[in-house]
Amino acid sequence: MPELDIEIGGRTFAVACQEGEEPFLESAARMLDTEAAVVLGQIGRMPPERMLLMAGLMLADKTAGLEEDLGRMQSEIEAMQSALTAAQNRLDDRARRIAELEEAAPPAEIAVIPAQVTDGLAELAARAEAMADTLDRARG
């Protein structure tokens, strides 16, 4: 079982760990040392037990906050997944209805109105409006 010397709050501690867990222990020690530096910066010198307790409590508080955030985010993800599933179901239903309508009715031929006809109708509409304006002025 490997034994590492870790430094927390300016003090060295000998700690044993399982084979292969050295990087995790060193990472955890760095996190604890960071919190210990904050405690020592605010309070000053203190016994190692109290320093470790305070630093551990600060890490526990951060962890609790992160767990709360994680729970809230998981709830949001579940809500988004439900909304996505509902939207997908509506989309699938509409696609089915479109397919049913396409199968039920043969495709209608689309009539193309020649440009001369639409131009002629536009001219007739303009003349009708002009006549209506003339009648309105004559009455008024």
When pLDDT is cut at 50, 70 and 90, the band that residue 137 belongs to is: confident
Determine the pLDDT at residue 38: 92
Give whole-number Cα distances, 116 to 74, 121, 140, in Å: 64, 9, 36
Question: Counting every residue, how long is the chain?
Answer: 140
Which of 13, 37, 35, 36 is closest to 25 using CA atoms? 13
Domain ranges of the chain: 3-103
| 121-136 pLDDT per residue, tens | 899 899 889 888 888 8
Per-residue pLDDT, averaged over 62-82, amounts to 96
How many whole angstroms separate alpha carbon 55 and alpha carbon 48? 10
When pLDDT is cut at 50, 70 and 90, the band that residue 107 belongs to is: low
Residue located via tokens 């709830």 = 75
Identify the weakest region by mean pLDDT among 6-15, 73-82, 99-108.
99-108
Q: Give all strands (DSSP E) within 1-140, no chain letters.
A: 3-8, 11-16
Per-residue pLDDT, averaged over 58-86, amounts to 95
